[in-house]
Amino acid sequence: MARIRLGMVGGGKDAFIGAVHRIAARIDGEFELVAGALSSTPEKSRDSGEALGLDPARCYGSFEEMAEVESERPDGIEAVAIVTPNHVHGPAAAAFLKRRIHVICDKPLTATMAQTEALAAAIKASDALFILTHNYTGYPMIRQARDMIASGDLGGIRVVQVEYPQDWLTEAAETTGTNKQAEWRTDPERSGAGGSVGDIGSHAHNLACFVTGLAVEKLSADLQSFVPGRRVDDNAHILLRFQGGARGMLWCSQVAPGCENGLRLRVFGEKGGLEWAQEDPNYLWFTPFGEPKRLLTRRGAGANDAANAVSRTPGGHPEGYLEGFANIYAGAAQAIRAAQAGQRDPVLDLLPGLEAGLAGMRFIDACVRSSAQDAAWVTL
Amino acid sequence: MARIRLGMVGGGKDAFIGAVHRIAARIDGEFELVAGALSSTPEKSRDSGEALGLDPARCYGSFEEMAEVESERPDGIEAVAIVTPNHVHGPAAAAFLKRRIHVICDKPLTATMAQTEALAAAIKASDALFILTHNYTGYPMIRQARDMIASGDLGGIRVVQVEYPQDWLTEAAETTGTNKQAEWRTDPERSGAGGSVGDIGSHAHNLACFVTGLAVEKLSADLQSFVPGRRVDDNAHILLRFQGGARGMLWCSQVAPGCENGLRLRVFGEKGGLEWAQEDPNYLWFTPFGEPKRLLTRRGAGANDAANAVSRTPGGHPEGYLEGFANIYAGAAQAIRAAQAGQRDPVLDLLPGLEAGLAGMRFIDACVRSSAQDAAWVTL
Amino acid sequence: MARIRLGMVGGGKDAFIGAVHRIAARIDGEFELVAGALSSTPEKSRDSGEALGLDPARCYGSFEEMAEVESERPDGIEAVAIVTPNHVHGPAAAAFLKRRIHVICDKPLTATMAQTEALAAAIKASDALFILTHNYTGYPMIRQARDMIASGDLGGIRVVQVEYPQDWLTEAAETTGTNKQAEWRTDPERSGAGGSVGDIGSHAHNLACFVTGLAVEKLSADLQSFVPGRRVDDNAHILLRFQGGARGMLWCSQVAPGCENGLRLRVFGEKGGLEWAQEDPNYLWFTPFGEPKRLLTRRGAGANDAANAVSRTPGGHPEGYLEGFANIYAGAAQAIRAAQAGQRDPVLDLLPGLEAGLAGMRFIDACVRSSAQDAAWVTL
Amino acid sequence: MARIRLGMVGGGKDAFIGAVHRIAARIDGEFELVAGALSSTPEKSRDSGEALGLDPARCYGSFEEMAEVESERPDGIEAVAIVTPNHVHGPAAAAFLKRRIHVICDKPLTATMAQTEALAAAIKASDALFILTHNYTGYPMIRQARDMIASGDLGGIRVVQVEYPQDWLTEAAETTGTNKQAEWRTDPERSGAGGSVGDIGSHAHNLACFVTGLAVEKLSADLQSFVPGRRVDDNAHILLRFQGGARGMLWCSQVAPGCENGLRLRVFGEKGGLEWAQEDPNYLWFTPFGEPKRLLTRRGAGANDAANAVSRTPGGHPEGYLEGFANIYAGAAQAIRAAQAGQRDPVLDLLPGLEAGLAGMRFIDACVRSSAQDAAWVTL
C-alpha cells in the first residue's frame, strides 16, 4: 500500500520531539515525510529539510505557506504532524484542518483555554481527523491495563496513584542560554500557564483517565516553583476526585534528582491492583486480591489481545518509547486510510483526540486555578 | 552485663505486635521478659504467660496490679513494653511511669488528644524514660538517610514523597468475627478517630520527619472509607507543607491489592535525591544531581557510621523488620542503663519519644479535622 | 540523502526475524526495501511482497533470480538482507557478493563448517561489505560496556558469566505442525548441528567476546536434549577459557520456564564489575571495587560517547530490541555510503562481520565436538 | 519451658560467625548461652566470655576442658555450638558427642576427608544430635521451594543453576595483617583444600541439593586462584550432573566486584521454574510453564505450610539472614527436646546433619580433584 504523505510543522534541528515523531512515523512504514515547515525562520527550515532529504521546494518558511501550497498539489500532503511549542498548535492545526489535511498534533492541545476554544471549533468544523500524541497510551501494557479494567478485572476502581517525576530542571537550565527546551517550556507565553503540570502532569492525567476510563471531576493542586526566578511550576502535588467515587493523587516534578522520566501508574479496585512504570514498559504487575502478584509481560503468557494488537516483537524482546509512540502513528494511519475510504475506523476509540485534549487543558487550567486559591477544590 | 528485667502489657496469644516486641527485646540479649499482664482477662493472661515460660506469680490480671506488685519486688521489672490497643497506652504507661519504671510503648501515643495530654503530663512528671516504638526509624539505611540529609548531601529539601499502602482491609475483614486485629483497628473507640492514618499514616509521617529533620506545619487530607460500613478511614491522600518550604505528599491505604507493607520514602533536595522502601530495607538509592544513581547497601561500601552503628551482619546478609525493631530496643537498653547510672545517653536523640508521639497525634488529629472540612488546610 | 535500495531474501509472512530486519532498516530512514525473494515458492514470495507494497516485478522466486536481475537494473538494489534459515545464508550471500551487492546477513554465518568456508571465500573475494546481524552488540549500553573495558575501567578481566535462557521449547513445539520456527530451528539440516548453542548460545558467545574484547581459546561443553525426540541440544552448559587467562561460563537454554529472552552478561575484573540484561537494556550496573554500585542509564549522567552515539531518545525514554537492531543497520548504512565513496568507515570496527561469524561457527562446532567427547576441552 | 543450656566453641571477639550463632540462638528464646571456650588462648576466652556476660567459671581455655567440666556439672550445657575454623570442627564435635552433648556445628563438616571420617564415626557412635548450620536452608521461601518441587509443581527437574559470588577477596586481603577472616579462610591448613568452593561453593551445592532433593553424581570443576600468591581457589566454575538426569552449573567466586553475598538458585523442570536470591530472601519467583510469572512472598497469598512454619512476621515485614539462621536453631531446639524425651522429631528431616555434611565434603574434594585433572569428570 502506498505510504501516507506527511508534512511536519516544527521539529527542526535539535528539536527533541520532532525527531521522535519522524521515527514513530517511519517504524511501521505507513508514512513518508515529504514536506516541512520545520522552523519559524525560512532558511533554518530549508536547512533542516535538506538534512532530512526533503525536496527543497517543499521546505516552507511558514505553516500557512505549507498548508496553502501543499493543499493545491496533486501529490500534496495527506496529513501533517505539528511538533511546535504549544502556543503554535492551535493556529497551525486550524490551517491544515480547514484544508481537510489530517492533523497529528503534539500535546497539550494549546497553551491557553482561549486558544483551545478556537482549535476545538476548527476541529469540529473539519472532516479531517485530529489526533493528539498522548503517546504513553500507545504502550501495549497500557492498552492491556485499560482493557483489563474495562473487563472488570479490578472491580470498581477506588484509588489511582499516578506520578511523573523528572530531574532535568533541578537547576535553572533556562538561564544558561544553551537549552532551548528549558527556555520555551518555562516560558508561559509559549508553554502556557502550567509548567510541570502542562508538560508532564498532563501526560499523567491523560494516562490515568485512559487506563481507568474515568474522568477527573475535581482537583486540589499545590503547585511549586522551587527554582528561584522560574516563571512556571516545576513541581505539583494534586489530589484527584474521579467520577464515580474513585480518588487519586498525582505528583509531577522536574526537580526530583534521580528521576529520568518516571511516569508511573498504579490503580487499585475492589478486586485487584495494577502497577506500571514507563521506564520498564514491557511489564505490568497484576494482583488479584488474595492471590500472588503476577508479572504480565508484553507478548508473554498473560498478554491480552489489546496488548498484542500493538506489539511487534516476541516477549523478552523489549519494545520502548519509540514503539509506543509509533502505535499512535500506526493507529492514525489506519484511521486516515479508513477516512479516505469514507469510513470511521474503531481504532479512533483508542486514539487521543479533541476530547482528551480538552480534558487535558481543563486539567492544566484547574491546577493553576486551584493553586492560586491555596489548593482549593476546583471542578474541571 | 545482667539483662534488663522487662514486663509486658498486652501481647497475649495471637497478638501480632506483642510477639514482635518480644523477639526485638531478645535479639541483642539486653532484656529478659519476667512479668506480664498479657491480656485483659486474668486467666488468658496467665495462659499466655505460661506459654512464654513466665513465673505464674508474675502473670498479672491487669497492668495496675502488675505495676503495683512489680514496683515493690526487689527483683521487679525495670522496664515495661506496652503493646495493647491504642486507648490503653495512656493509662498503662502512666501507671508505670509514676513508679519510675521505664516505658517502651507501641505507637501511636494514644487514641485521642485528651488521652495524649494526660500521658504527656505523666511522662513529664516522671524520671523514667518513655520510648515510642516507631520501629521503622531503627532501620540502618534510614539512620543513614537521616545522617546524609543532616550532613547536607541533598542540599535544601524540596519534595518529600512518602507512602504506606497495604491491602489487608480490602474486604470487610472486621465483620468476619475471626480477625481481632481488624476489629480493634477499625473501632474508633479503641484505635482512635484515624483508621489508616492512625495505624500506618502515622508511621509514614514519623519516618518522613525523622529522616528529613523537618516538621509538618500544615496539611490537607482527603480521607476515604471505601469498604461499606467501615467506621474509620481505610485510605488517605494528604498534601504536606513542611517548615522551611519543603512540600510533600503522603498516601496511606489498607485497600491497595498487591501491597503488603509498602512503606516507601523518597526525598529530593537541591543537590540530590534519596529513595528507600521498607520491604527491601537493606538498600538506599542515592542520586547526587548530575551523577549516576548509586545503590548504597547496609554495611556495603557506601554505608556510613550511622548505619553501621545499628547493623549486625555484613553486607549482603539481609537484616529485616525484626532487626530494625530490635534497634529501638537496643537503643532503649543503652538509654536505660545510662539512666540507671544517672546519665542521659545521646542515643535518646535518635529514639522516638514524647515529642515524636505528640507530633504523630497532632498529625492524626489534623488529618481527621482537615478531611471533615473537605481537605481544608489545617495547621498542626 | 537518498535511501539505500535494499532487497530481502527470506522474511515472508509469519517469519519473525524478517519483520524485525525491515523495521530495523526503516527506523533511521536510511534504507528503502525495493525488492524481495521473500519465500522459496514464487507465489508466496509475490504475495508477501505485495503485502509489503513491493513492485510485483521485483518480487522474485529465488535469490539467484533476484541477484541476477537486480544487479542489471540501473535502480537495482545496493544491499540485501538475508533472513533465511541458516543453511541458505551461504549460497544466498555468495550470489550477491559476487555481484558487488552489500550483504546484511542474519546470524549464525551458516549451518556447517563446510558452508562457512565457502562463504568466507566469497566474502574475501568481493569488494562488497558483509555484515552479520549479531544485533545485541547494537545496544547502547553494550557499546558503553565494551568501551569501559577497553579503557581499563575494570582492570584485567578475570571472570565472564554469560547466559541466554528461553523457555519456548520446553515442550515439543516442533511436533505440533503449527510452529515453523520450532521446526527449522530443531532440524539439523536447516539449522546446523547446534540447537540452542547455534540459535542463542552463539549470541551469548558473541556478546561476551564483543564486550570484553577477548577471544575464547578453549571450551568444555555439556549439551543436553531434554525434550524426548529432539534432534539438537535444547540446553547447554559450557566452561570457557579466554585468551589472557580470563575464565567464564556460558549457559543457554530453550527449556527454562519463566525465561523469555534472558540474555545476560556479567564481567568481573581486577578493579570492578559490570552487569547487563537484555530484557532491561537501558541499564548497565557498574561497581568499581570498594565503591557503591552505580546504575548507568542510556543517555543518563554516566553514559559515555560510545553509548550516546547509538542512542536516539533522552534518558528514561526506553529504547529496546528494535532500536538496538537498527543500530546495526544504521552502522551498515554508514559503512555502505563510505564504501560507495571508496572509503572504509571506522564504524566497521564495531560491526560484526566475517571474523565474528567465523568465531561463532567455531564456537558452535567446538560445543558439539566437546559434548560428543563428554565435555572434553576443545580448542577453538 | 526452660531454655536449653548452650555452650560455644570459638566465636570470640571479632569473629563474625560466632555472633551470628548467638543471635540465632536467642531469637526464639529457646537457648541460653551459659558456657564458652571462645578462643584458643585462655585469657582471650575469658575476656570474650565476660563481654558476653558469662560466668567466668564457665569460660574455658579449651574445648576439651569445657567438655569435661560441663559434662559433670548438674547444670552443664545440653548443647554446644562449634564456630571455629574448619580444622577444629572434628575434634571439638567429637569431644562433646562422646559426652552426649548435642552439637550444632558450623559448615563445612571439617577441613579434610580424613577428619571427616573420624567425625562421622564419632557422630554415629553417639546418641547426641549433630546439626550442621547450612543456614540458607532455613529461609522460609527455600523451604517452600523444596516443598513445591517435592510436590511435583515443577515436574521432573532438568536444569539447576546455582551461584554464589562475593567480592571481599578481590584483592589480597589475607596479606594485610588486619583481616583474620581472610587469613584463615585462605589457609589450606585451617580451611581445607577448597577456598571459595569450601567456604561458599559448599553452601551453593547444599542449597541446590536441599531444594531439589537430588544428589550430585558427577562434576567437572575449573578452579582458579586469581589473586597472585593465594593458596586456595577464589573462583570456581563447575558443571554438575545430578542423579536422575538433571544437569547444572555452579559458580562461586570471592573476586566478583559488586557481589556482596549473591547466593542465587534457579531450578527448571518440565512444568515450571523457580528462582530465589538470598539477598532478597522474602521472594520466590514461580513460573508454571505457559502462565505468567508469580511473585510468591513470605507469608503472602502464595506461601505454603512449609514456609509458614518457619516464618515469624506477616508478609511485607521482611525477615532476613538472622531469622533464616534462627530457623536452624529453632529446629535444633525442637529436635533436642524430643531427643531428651527419647523421641526423634521429624524436623530432623529438614535439618542438615551428617549426611549433608558428608555430601558437602565430597563435593569440595571432588572439585579439587577434578580441577587438578584439568576439569575431568569426577564421581562424588
pLDDT of res. D62? 95
Q: Model confidence at A148, in pLDDT bands (50, 70, 90)? A: very high
Residue A224 to residues A282, B290, C311, D219, Cα–Cα distance (Å): 33, 22, 33, 63
Least confident of A230-234, D111-115, D282-286, D288-292: D111-115
Query: Is a pLDDT exceeding 80 seen at residue A209?
Result: yes
Does residue A3 contact residue A29 with C-beta atoms inside 8 Å? yes
Q: Model confidence at C14, in pLDDT bands (50, 70, 90)? A: confident
Amino acid of residue B337: R
Here the cell at position A294 is 503476577
Which residues does chain A have within 8 Å of residue C27's beta carbon, measured at their own beta carbons?
A: 23, 26-27, 322
Interchain proximity B290–C297, CB inside 8 Å? no
Burial class (CB in 10 A: 0-12, 13-18, 19+), A2: exposed
B43 shares its domain with B92: yes
Here the cell at position A88 is 503554535
Q: Which residues neighbour D120 within 8 Å (Cβ) at sequence distance 6 or greater?
A: D354, D358
D263 shares its domain with D168: yes
Q: D54 lies in which domain range?
A: 4-128
Q: Taking residues D63-80, report their average pLDDT.
A: 97
Residue C40 lies in a domain: yes
Q: Taking residues D317-331, report their average pLDDT.
A: 98
Q: Which residues pair with B69 in a beta bridge?
A: none
Distance between CA atoms of A17 and C271, rounded to whole angstroms? 40
Render pLDDT for A271-302 as a digit per residue (tens, 0 to 9): 999 999 999 999 999 999 999 999 999 999 99
What is the CB neighbour count within 10 angstroms for residue D19?
18
Which residues does chain B have within 8 Å of residue D1's beta carbon, measured at their own beta carbons?
A: 53
Distance between CA atoms of A357 and B355, rounded to whole angstroms? 49
Q: What angle do CA A273, A277, A283 make, to 5 degrees?
A: 75
> Taking an 8 Å Cβ-Cβ cutoff, which residues of chain D contact chain C?
158-159, 161, 163, 165, 167, 170-171, 220, 222, 224, 226, 235, 237, 239, 241, 247-249, 251, 253, 255-259, 266, 268-273, 275, 285-289, 293, 374-375, 377
Q: Which residues pair with C103 in a beta bridge?
A: C80, C130
Q: Taking residues B321-334, report their average pLDDT.
A: 98
pLDDT of res. C40? 84
Interchain proximity D27–B322, CB inside 8 Å? yes
Residue D354 lies in a domain: no
pLDDT of res. B14? 72
Shortest distance between the Cα of C172 and any Cα of chain A, in A, equals 17
C191 shares its domain with C261: yes
Own/partner contacts of A170-175, CB < 8 Å, gap of 24 or more, are A170/A227, A170/A254, A170/A255, A170/A256, A170/A257, A170/B270, A170/B289, A171/A227, A171/B289, A172/A227, A172/A228, A172/A229, A172/A230, A174/A230, A175/A229
Interchain proximity B237–A239, CB inside 8 Å? yes
Question: What is the average pLDDT score of chain C?
Answer: 96
Does residue D119 contact residue D94 with C-beta atoms inside 8 Å? yes
Secondary element (H or E) of residue C288: strand C283-288
D164 shares its domain with D300: yes
Distance between CA atoms of C211 and C268, rounded to whole angstroms? 12
Chains with at least 3 CB pairs less than 8 angstroms from chain B: A, C, D
Here the cell at position B147 is 545522617
| Best residue of C293, C294, C296, C304 to probe chain B, by most B CBs closer than 10 Å | C293
Q: Model confidence at C180, in pLDDT bands (50, 70, 90)? A: confident
Which residues does chain D have within 8 Å of residue C293's beta carbon, measured at their own beta carbons?
A: 258
Quick one: what percent of chain B has pLDDT higher than 90? 94
pLDDT of res. C326? 98
Does residue C89 contact residue C107 with C-beta atoms inside 8 Å? no
Q: Taking residues D124-129, report their average pLDDT.
A: 97
Least confident of A20-34, A256-270, C14-28: C14-28
Chains with at least 3 CB pairs less than 8 angstroms from chain A: B, C, D
Quick one: what percent of chain C has pLDDT higher than 90? 94
Which residues does chain D have within 8 Å of residue B317's beta carbon, measured at their own beta carbons?
A: 261, 320-321
Residue B13 lies in a domain: yes
Query: Is a pLDDT exceeding 80 seen at residue C15?
Result: no
B65 shares its domain with B163: no
C–D: how many Cβ contacts below 8 A?
A: 117
Does residue B184 contact residue B84 with C-beta atoms inside 8 Å? no
Does residue A171 contact residue B269 with C-beta atoms inside 8 Å? no
pLDDT of res. D98? 97
* Residue listed under C-alpha cell 482561549: A114
> Taking an 8 Å Cβ-Cβ cutoff, which residues of chain D contact chain A?
286, 290-297, 300-302
Render pLDDT for A315-349 as a digit per residue (tens, 0 to 9): 999 999 999 999 999 999 999 999 999 999 999 99
A116 shares its domain with A192: no
pLDDT of res. A275? 98
Shortest distance between the Cα of B354 and any Cα of chain D, in A, equals 25
Which residues does chain D have within 8 Å of residue B281's beta carbon, measured at their own beta carbons?
A: 318
What is the CB neighbour count within 10 angstroms for residue C74?
4
Task: Pick the closest to residue A37 from A4, A16, A11 (CA basis).
Answer: A11
- Helix C140-150 to helix C202-212 angle (10° resolution) is 50
B123 shares its domain with B21: yes
Query: Is a pLDDT exceeding 90 seen at residue C181?
Result: no
Does residue D129 contact residue D334 with C-beta atoms inside 8 Å? no
Residue A344 lies in a domain: no
β-pair type (A235-242, A216-224)? antiparallel
C176 shares its domain with C248: yes
Interchain proximity A257–B288, CB inside 8 Å? yes
Of A108, A128, A148, the position where a domain reaches its end is A128
pLDDT of res. C129? 98
Distance between CA atoms of C85 and C108, rounded to whole angstroms? 10
Of C87, C109, C128, the position where a domain reaches its end is C128
Distance between CA atoms of A134 and A328, rounded to whole angstroms? 8
Does residue A146 contact residue A215 with C-beta atoms inside 8 Å? no
B241 shares its domain with B278: yes
Query: Is a pLDDT exceeding 90 seen at residue B3?
Result: yes
Render pLDDT for C65-87 as a digit per residue (tens, 0 to 9): 999 999 999 999 999 999 999 99
Does residue B45 contact residue B60 with C-beta atoms inside 8 Å? yes
Residue C171 to residues B232, C53, C186, D269, D272, Cα–Cα distance (Å): 53, 37, 12, 11, 11
Interchain proximity D247–C255, CB inside 8 Å? no
pLDDT of res. B191? 87
Secondary element (H or E) of residue C270: none
| Best residue of B295, B322, B327, B337 to probe chain D, by most D CBs closer than 10 Å | B322
Interchain proximity D258–C271, CB inside 8 Å? no
C103 shares its domain with C245: no
Which residues does chain D have within 8 Å of residue C256's beta carbon, measured at their own beta carbons?
A: 159, 266, 268, 273
pLDDT of res. A15? 75
What is the domain-level CATH number for residue B107? 3.40.50.720
Which residues does chain B have within 8 Å of residue C293's beta carbon, measured at their own beta carbons?
A: 294-295, 297
Residue C246 lies in a domain: yes
What is the CB neighbour count within 10 angstroms for residue C155?
16
Which residues does chain A have within 8 Å of residue B250's beta carbon, measured at their own beta carbons?
A: none
Interchain proximity A247–B222, CB inside 8 Å? yes
Query: Is a pLDDT exceeding 90 seen at residue B180?
Result: no
Query: Is a pLDDT exceeding 80 seen at residue A1?
Result: no
| Best residue of C179, C237, C250, C284 to probe chain D, by most D CBs closer than 10 Å | C237
Q: How many domains does chain C have?
A: 2
Residue of B nearest to C290 (CA): B301
Residue B141 to residues B168, B299, B305, D279, Cα–Cα distance (Å): 27, 9, 11, 15
> Taking an 8 Å Cβ-Cβ cutoff, which residues of chain A contact chain B?
158-159, 161, 163, 165, 167, 170-171, 220, 222, 224, 226, 235, 237, 239, 241, 247-249, 251, 253, 255-259, 266, 268-273, 275, 285-289, 293, 374-375, 377
Q: Model confidence at B210, in pLDDT bands (50, 70, 90)? A: very high
Residue A324 lies in a domain: no
Distance between CA atoms of A10 and A228, rounded to whole angstroms? 30
Listed in sequence order, the DSSP H helices in C98-254 are 113-125, 140-150, 180-185, 188-191, 196, 202-212
ipTM of this model? 0.96
Per residue, the 3-state secondary structure of chain D, as one string, reads CCCEEEEEECCCCCCHHHHHHHHHHHHCCCEEEEEEECCCCHHHHHHHHHHCCCCHHHECCCHHHHHHHHHHCCCCCCEEEECCCHHHHHHHHHHHHCCCCEEEECCCCCCCHHHHHHHHHHHHHCCCCEEECCHHHHCHHHHHHHHHHHCCCCCCEEEEEEEEECCCCCCCHHHCCCCHHHHHHCCHHHHCCCCHHHHHHHHHHHHHHHHHCCCEEEEEEEEECCCCCCCCCCEEEEEEEEHHHCEEEEEEECCCCCCCCCCEEEEEECCEEEEEECCCCCEEEEEECCCCEEEEECCCCCCCHHHHCCCCCCCCCCCCHHHHHHHHHHHHHHHHHHHHCCCCCHHHHCCCCHHHHHHHHHHHHHHHHHHHCCCCCEEC
pLDDT of res. B275? 98
Query: Is a pLDDT exceeding 80 seen at residue B203?
Result: yes
Least confident of A180-184, B95-99, C88-92, C305-309: A180-184
Q: Model confidence at C16, in pLDDT bands (50, 70, 90)? A: confident
Residue B97 lies in a domain: yes
Render pLDDT for A176-199 as a digit per residue (tens, 0 to 9): 998 988 998 999 998 899 999 999
What is the domain-level CATH number for residue D267? 3.30.360.10
Q: Model confidence at D135, in pLDDT bands (50, 70, 90)? A: very high
Q: Which residues neighbour B341 within 8 Å (Cβ) at sequence distance 6 or greater?
A: none
Q: Tell me if residue B298 falls in helix, strand or coil.
A: coil
Distance between CA atoms of C80 and C336, rounded to whole angstroms? 12
Query: Is a pLDDT exceeding 90 seen at residue A14?
Result: no
Of D94, D128, D162, the position where a domain reaches its end is D128
Q: Model confidence at D167, in pLDDT bands (50, 70, 90)? A: very high
Which residues does chain B have within 8 Å of residue A237's beta carbon, measured at their own beta carbons?
A: 239, 247-249
A239 shares its domain with A306: yes
Q: Model confidence at D16, in pLDDT bands (50, 70, 90)? A: confident
Termini Cα distance of chain A:
43
Here the cell at position C13 is 509472512
Which residues does chain C have within 8 Å of residue B296's beta carbon, measured at their own beta carbons?
A: 292
Least confident of A187-191, A263-267, D228-232: A187-191
Q: Taking residues B187-202, report their average pLDDT.
A: 94
Q: Model confidence at C248, in pLDDT bands (50, 70, 90)? A: very high
Residue A202 lies in a domain: yes
Amino acid of residue C363: F
Q: Taking residues C319-330, report their average pLDDT.
A: 98
pLDDT of res. B200? 97
B221 shares its domain with B169: yes
- Residues D82-113: b if buried by 16+ CB within 10 A, e if exposed: bbbbbbbbbbbbbbbbebebbbbbbbbbbbbe
Task: Pick the closest to residue D49 from D90, D81, D21, D7 (CA basis).
Answer: D7
pLDDT of res. D191? 87
Query: Is a pLDDT exceeding 80 seen at residue A100?
Result: yes
Strand order in the sheet with C130-132: C31-37, C4-9, C79-82, C102-105, C130-132
Which residues does chain B have within 8 Å of residue D28's beta carbon, measured at their own beta carbons?
A: 23
* 8-state DSSP, C1: -
Termini Cα distance of chain D:
43
pLDDT of res. A188? 92
Quick one: what percent of chain A has pLDDT higher than 90? 94
pLDDT of res. D79? 98
| Best residue of B279, B280, B297, B329 to probe chain D, by most D CBs closer than 10 Å | B279
Shortest distance between the Cα of D372 and any Cα of chain C, in A, equals 14
Does residue B204 contact residue B219 with C-beta atoms inside 8 Å? no
* 8-state DSSP, B59: B
Interchain proximity D2–B53, CB inside 8 Å? yes
Q: Model confidence at C13, in pLDDT bands (50, 70, 90)? A: confident
Residue of B nearest to C284 (CA): B292
pLDDT of res. A211? 98
